[in-house]
């Protein structure tokens, strides 16, 4: 484990929202030293031209090929899904990597090929990658070279589900998740369906039955429960910039009650700085975590006998992406896990 | 059945959103003649002072006690839940009534007492009331004196569910509904949680496990299926003014497939002017029904074997309230059902 | 003037927001018969695939070159600014045209060249075009072959300003306008700055000092006042889908008072179906005109001696574009001016 | 000047938005120690019950009368306008106070009486109060006992105007300001016009010609220019939670050009940590300052000869209220001015 001295950081694909969010968080991290930002179409520009809210930072974007890795300790990779594999395979072996794309989240090459439509291009790295749900993989993260930072929906859902799966409070094979995401989840590339006028004042489900994030969820639940599972997952686009909420339905295991679920959650997360289990009767709102790395979870008795309802709220850009990436970096380099991540939510 | 000549209308509680929406819709209805509007706290004001967008209408609000019913044919009652019963009990018997409150939706006095915490104050009327889900109760509506206009969540959910229950495509006892509502559903009374700054850019579940609308849904599904059912229903508040979306999970009955569900929906609604079953793969958005009396429904195969997912979208103030009320009025008085309700959605 | 019988309509560029809004309005116009819709990139699709909220209409988009004009009476042209001139120059001479682009709004070829950076490509048509601010050009519109439908900002501003210029209540050469627009004004093409996440929960001025719409305003004010004028016009993008508001500052002419301004406005608009002058002390909101062809205007005394403040609100897609286009069509073909345009605003 | 050791803080009226924002900012201030929070209607509750996003803070609200001031160094007063005067008059004389209400912003008792409709109830304190526009009153703030924290509109406008008034670039007597505010400016009390459904997707001017904040602006401009001034100020409510933007029109003084204005702004603010003058052609957005204490200012040439346009953007709850209050506290107690206020904006 390295000393908790300053580390040098390169961010690849820094012109997207997750890149900008990394910059926002790392700007006041006491040990972070940004040394390179890449962004193909914006190369040559100061970051303040691309993101005026970051104009107090003195960084300039370069092309990916112009990033020098000599003095770099850790790379955050925010490249588009599918383009990351050859890039990461070509990085010096002494670099540590937090990859925010989906490229290394699935461990099984066949799973990957099935969900993404082509064979994985860096199967060795795929094998090596650690799924970086921090609260559940701390030991592996400390030792890892390559972290596959979890997707936003899986982070939001798994943090609520895993304690109940582990404590065998629920039947792992009967999980239904309806989730809502802010629009930043779709990235900054110009797409007609994400125009303000298309999204404002309305809601819509999408990817019904086939969103790729379900593969991550099934992988992690199955790993913990020991058997393959199929999850019904329906994401919805709602008119907010950031925020994510999951409403999760499960069947209680034999002899289990809602209180057992709450107890399992409380026990698992009582010392966690970034996970809060709400008191009975309290429902979490995405407002309460906006801009922060926190996850708020609640558990409710279902009306149908034997059913339990979990609610989970995160900021999709923070705990669902860049914040958890910084949390993982902190763990990898022996820093306190909360460094650079201690904020109150910006509400209203 | 009366002649399709003009009818005189009184709206009680016209200062709320459903009252205003009735006025918007009835203003250009060829046979509607508004003769009285009541609104206690706003009595004496012109409607344009209370709702500037209606200032082209020449109506003035009066106190409830000052409404004269002599020339009135139909009363729309938009009074708050719980206050409606004595008012309606005191109306002349020759008046026909469309009640938009929840007061007469539950047929069973015990059900009512359990959900609303007190005995029903007009049990005779309760017995007489017809649950006005138009597409499913046309004959009864034509003959009814008192229509209990359905709630927004039940309308949105039942329109999708009932054809599958009736065709025995799904197991009625394993239904889970996650729904989202625009903020107008909470009415116009000033409440801190409904302030713009509290709602904007965030989402939140509410009434988890105990929202009163579930009682209506269970009543109607049970009536059709012939057995008592318990439904898991979780509403969510999202930052939009109007619109409602339900994501409904059900188990296919033995031998049934998703295609059978789609076929049942298509068959049931092929001639309906206000219900559209989306083509395969298309997800409905609330944008597509904003300002209209339409309901758009889609059916998707679930990822878990034997599961089916229904999506349903309405405008909560129109098909979920005032539009359906006008639709019911049209049916009661022998007008074409679409009169006053033919609009394209206002999008974007 | 033709008989008020049904007319056949082609819409060129129907896949943009103004095209869709024309369809929304014309769908229930008693004399409108849509016979052709063009849309290059979407050619071949049913309109419901491009705009699901219009899926009740049975139209299919074709390429511009595949539009047959034989049976067409009037063309609405919604093509992008700058591409319209050669298209309109090539249309049969017996067609009447309402052009929603900016291409024919400026009468002076030099003005056009200066503001748009190139010589006008159809100067004969430019000469022939009538600036279609309906309330101010009725006679010319009736006789016109080609209407240049005004821009949204000019419509909103000129309706408030022109009565005061005409009545010499204000000094035409000292006008300052700060205006706000909903995001639909930027069209449906995918552009990063118009993404929901970029616009939501923030405001921004744009085009400061150089927005092209100011040329239209100056032209019309100068025509009425008889001398050249320069207007300070600053538009702002605000997070709403539709709606436009102008706050206009002017200097009272010698001996004039705020009451004279109000009197001039009231006199000019007292019989207008689509323009309302608010009562003293009432400020108009864009909410009150959403989805309608109405303009609401208010006049206030400025705090600085001799200054007057005008407020004007419209729906940018209706009175600011497609609604005024239909109003102009009604006038051209001898229909009642309000046909197809009688709606209450959709509020909330 | 006290040592930069920790200070004890009481917040009176902590249940409103400015109180909550103080808590958000002070939570991670290295020298701030919150010892008391008052809130009448919420007394007895933990802050996390009133503001779930602050539930990581262990504070409980008490009644105003139960605040003990023995160990308190500074009081932030967030009580409603008009109620503050007797409270502050009754505080121990050794306390320092930052008052966020409007009660002590006007120096002239007659001015106060005219704008607020009653005589000032604590004229001695009024005389003593320092108008806390930090960048312009540093010396006085250091020595002050009572800071009248400026209003949001005045902060946003004066930061842009004062350098030009001081450098005599503009005529102080011909200023027109159109400004837009997020809804948090109206506070957390439940009011119908601030409901989500009333505000969403629309804009509206308010307080035209008579908003009280204009008195502050006129006072400060007049003090600097040496002559009385009248400012035309029109605020607008726009659908965003936080953010404020002012578009300011002025006449250049004889011989002055836009470049002189930019030079004066640049010179005045070049070393300021919280004020940025945008490069030529760049317009500031409220997005860029959300959650921060920053002000971004731009200057543009007007189209009318001799006119200049200033744009200014702040977060109304931070630089426009609680952030500037902390900045003033830092200055009063000899801390670095940026302590607790170093954040990147939360965008998107």
Across residues A224-234, what is the average pLDDT? 96
Cα-based distances in Å from C79 to B136, C64, C115, C116, C323: 45, 10, 19, 16, 17
CB pair distance less than 8 Å for D236 and C243: no
Across residues A209-220, what is the average pLDDT? 92
| Two tokens, residue A326 | 């910084």
Q: Which residue of C has its CA nearest to A243?
A: C197
The verdict on B232 touching A (C-beta cutoff 8 Å) is: yes
The verdict on B197 touching A (C-beta cutoff 8 Å) is: yes
Tallying the residues shown for chain C, one arrives at 348
- Burial level of D4, CB count in 10 A (0-12/13-18/19+)? middle
CB pair distance less than 8 Å for B52 and C288: yes
Q: Quick one: pLDDT at residue D4? A: 53
Q: Quick one: pLDDT at residue B59? A: 94
Is B250's pLDDT higher than 50? Answer: yes
* Position C1 confidence tier, pLDDT thresholds 50, 70, 90: very low
Q: Quick one: pLDDT at residue A4? A: 53
Q: What is the pTM of this model?
A: 0.96
Q: Quick one: pLDDT at residue C75? A: 98
Best to test chain B binding among A152, A193, A205 (most B CBs inside 10 Å): A205
Per DSSP, the three-state class of A142 is helix
The dihedral built from the CA positions of residue D186, D190, D192 and D197, taken in this order, carries a sign that is positive
In 3D, which of C200, C211, C179, C299 has the Cα closest to residue D178?
Answer: C179
* Position B2 confidence tier, pLDDT thresholds 50, 70, 90: very low
- DSSP tag of C221: H
Q: Which residues pair with C36 in a beta bridge?
A: C10
Sheet containing B7-12: order of strands: B61-62, B32-38, B7-12, B74-77, B96-99, B146-148, B130-131
| Two tokens, residue B145 | 């004196």
* Position C156 confidence tier, pLDDT thresholds 50, 70, 90: very high
Q: Quick one: pLDDT at residue B248? A: 98
Per-residue pLDDT tens over the stretch C208-254:
978 889 999 999 999 999 999 999 999 999 999 999 999 999 999 99
Q: Quick one: pLDDT at residue C81? A: 87
Best to test chain C binding among A200, A205, A206, A239 (most C CBs inside 10 Å): A200
| Set of chain C residues whose Cβ sits within 8 Å of the Cβ of D202 | 240, 243, 285-287, 290
Tell me the average pLDDT of chain B: 96
- The answer for D 177-196 residues in CB contact with B (under 8 A) is 182-184, 188-192, 194-196
CA distance B337 to B273: 9
Is B251's pLDDT higher than 90? Answer: yes
Give the 3-state secondary structure percentages of chain B, helix then strand then coil, rounded to 5.
35, 20, 45
Across residues B7-15, what is the average pLDDT? 97
In 3D, which of A155, A175, A178, A186 has the Cα closest to residue A323?
Answer: A155
In 3D, which of B110, B115, B156, B112 has the Cα closest to residue B133?
Answer: B156
Is A161's pLDDT higher than 80? Answer: yes
| Set of chain A residues whose Cβ sits within 8 Å of the Cβ of C347 | none
CA distance D236 to A133: 45
- Convert C265-332 into a string of H (helix), E (strand) and C (coil): HHHHHCCCCCEEECCCCCCCEHHHHCCCCCEEEEEEECCCCCEEEEEEEECCCHHHHHHHHHHHHHHH
From the CA of B141, how many Å to the nearest CA of chain C?
Answer: 27
Q: Which residue of A has its CA nearest to B204?
A: A285
CB atoms within 10 A of CB A267: 12
In 3D, which of A313, B54, B113, A159 has the Cα closest to residue C276?
Answer: B54
Tallying the residues shown for chain D, one arrives at 348
Q: Quick one: pLDDT at residue A179? A: 98
| Set of chain B residues whose Cβ sits within 8 Å of the Cβ of C200 | 201
Are residues C324 and C155 in contact, defined by beta-carbon separation less than 8 angstroms?
A: yes
- DSSP tag of D31: T
Best to test chain C binding among D156, D208, D314 (most C CBs inside 10 Å): D208
Alpha carbon of residue D115 to chain centroid: 19
CB pair distance less than 8 Å for A190 and C188: no
The verdict on C242 touching D (C-beta cutoff 8 Å) is: yes
| Two tokens, residue C63 | 């390429």
CA distance B52 to C288: 6
Q: Quick one: pLDDT at residue B5? A: 85
Per-residue pLDDT tens over the stretch A303-344:
999 999 999 999 999 999 999 999 999 999 999 999 999 999
In 3D, which of C234, C244, C246, C248 has the Cα closest to residue C183?
Answer: C244
CB pair distance less than 8 Å for A209 and B302: yes
Are residues D183 and D135 in contact, defined by beta-carbon separation less than 8 angstroms?
A: no
Q: Quick one: pLDDT at residue C2? A: 45
Tallying the residues shown for chain A, one arrives at 348
CA distance B344 to A42: 42
Are residues C4 and C31 in contact, defined by beta-carbon separation less than 8 angstroms?
A: yes
Q: Which residues pair with D299 in a beta bridge?
A: D310
Q: Quick one: pLDDT at residue C135? A: 98
CB pair distance less than 8 Å for D200 and B17: no
Note the helical H segments in D210-257: 213-225
The verdict on A124 touching D (C-beta cutoff 8 Å) is: no
In 3D, which of A338, A329, A275 has the Cα closest to residue A72?
Answer: A329
From the CA of A114, how many Å to the nearest CA of chain C?
Answer: 29
Listed as ranges, residues in chain D with pLDDT below 50 are 1-3
Is A96's pLDDT higher than 60? Answer: yes
Per-residue pLDDT tens over the stretch C20-50:
999 999 999 999 999 999 999 999 999 999 9
CB atoms within 10 A of CB B232: 22
Inter-chain CB pairs, B–C, below 8 Å: 80
The verdict on D340 touching A (C-beta cutoff 8 Å) is: no
Q: Quick one: pLDDT at residue D2? A: 44
In 3D, which of A286, A282, A275 has the Cα closest to residue A315?
Answer: A286
In 3D, which of C139, C148, C184, C116 has the Cα closest to residue C1?
Answer: C139
Is B4's pLDDT higher than 90? Answer: no
From the CA of C183, how many Å to the nearest CA of chain A?
Answer: 6
CA distance B124 to D52: 46
Cα-based distances in Å from D58 to C8, D21, D34: 71, 16, 10
The dihedral built from the CA positions of residue B138, B139, B140 and B142, taken in this order, carries a sign that is positive
Q: What is the CA radius of gyration of chain B?
A: 20
Looking only at the bridges linking them, the beta strands covering C74-77 and C96-99 are parallel
Q: Which of A202, A283, A305 comes nearest B286 by C-beta?
A: A202
A152 is catalytic: yes
- Kindly list the partner chains of chain D, i.e. chains with 3 or more CB atom pairs below 8 Å: A, B, C
Q: Which residues pair with A303 in a beta bridge?
A: none
- DSSP tag of B209: T
Across residues A40-59, what is the average pLDDT? 95
CB pair distance less than 8 Å for B288 and C52: yes
CB pair distance less than 8 Å for A201 and C17: no
Across residues B109-117, what is the average pLDDT? 93
Residue with tokens 């965008």: D347
- DSSP tag of D299: E
The dihedral built from the CA positions of residue D112, D115, D119 and D122, taken in this order, carries a sign that is negative
Instruction: For D109-254, list the strands marked E by DSSP.
Output: 130-131, 146-148, 175-181, 204-205, 231-237, 244-251
Instruction: Encode burial over B120-131: b for 16+ CB neighbours within 10 A, e otherwise.
Output: bbbeebbeebbb
Residue with tokens 């006290």: D2
The verdict on A348 touching D (C-beta cutoff 8 Å) is: yes
* Position C5 confidence tier, pLDDT thresholds 50, 70, 90: confident
- Burial level of D66, CB count in 10 A (0-12/13-18/19+)? exposed
Is A1's pLDDT higher than 50? Answer: no
| Two tokens, residue D278 | 């945008």
List all residues 6 or more positions away from A160 whose beta carbon is below 8 Å from its beta carbon. Answer: A246, A248, A265, A297, A310, A311, A312
From the CA of C111, how many Å to the nearest CA of chain A?
Answer: 32
Q: Quick one: pLDDT at residue A35? A: 97
In 3D, which of D73, A176, A188 has the Cα closest to residue B310?
Answer: A176
CB atoms within 10 A of CB B86: 9
In 3D, which of A339, A304, A295, A333 has the Cα closest to residue A98?
Answer: A333
* Position C4 confidence tier, pLDDT thresholds 50, 70, 90: low
């Amino acid at each position: 484990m390295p000393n908790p001295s300053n580390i040098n950081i390169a961010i690849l694909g820094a012109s997207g929202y997750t890149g900008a969010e990394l910059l926002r968080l790392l700007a006041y991290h006491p040990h972070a030293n940004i040394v390179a930002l890449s962004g193909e179409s914006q190369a040559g520009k100061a970051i303040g031209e691309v993101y005026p809210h970051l104009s107090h930072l003195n960084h300039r974007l370069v092309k990916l090929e112009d990033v020098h890795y000599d003095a770099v300790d850790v790379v955050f990779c925010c490249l588009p899904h599918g383009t990351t594999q050859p890039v990461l395979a070509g990085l010096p072996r002494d670099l540590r990597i937090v990859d925010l794309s989906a490229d290394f989240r699935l461990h099984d090459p066949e799973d990957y090929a099935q969900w993404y439509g082509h064979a994985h291009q860096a199967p060795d790295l795929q094998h090596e990658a650690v799924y970086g749900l921090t609260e559940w993989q701390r030991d592996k993260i400390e030792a890892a070279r390559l972290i596959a930072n979890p997707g936003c929906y899986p982070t939001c859902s798994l943090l609520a589900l895993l304690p109940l799966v582990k404590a065998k409070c629920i039947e792992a094979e009967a999980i239904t998740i309806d989730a809502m995401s802010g629009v930043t989840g779709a990235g900054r590339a110009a797409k007609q369906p994400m125009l303000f006028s298309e999204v404002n004042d309305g809601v819509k489900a999408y990817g019904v039955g086939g969103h790729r994030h379900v593969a991550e969820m099934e992988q992690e639940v199955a790993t913990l429960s020991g058997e393959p599972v199929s999850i019904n997952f329906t994401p919805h686009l709602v008119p907010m910039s950031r925020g994510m909420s999951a409403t999760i339905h499960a069947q209680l295991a034999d002899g289990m009650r809602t209180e057992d679920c709450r107890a399992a959650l409380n026990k698992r997360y009582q010392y966690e700085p970034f996970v809060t289990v709400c008191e009975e009767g309290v429902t979490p709102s995405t407002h309460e975590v906006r801009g922060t790395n926190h996850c708020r979870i609640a558990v409710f008795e279902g009306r149908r006998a034997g059913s339990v309802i979990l609610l989970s709220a995160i900021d999709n850009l923070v705990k669902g992406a860049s914040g958890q990436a910084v949390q993982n970096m902190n763990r990898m380099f022996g820093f306190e896990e909360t460094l650079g991540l201690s904020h109150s939510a910006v509400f209203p």
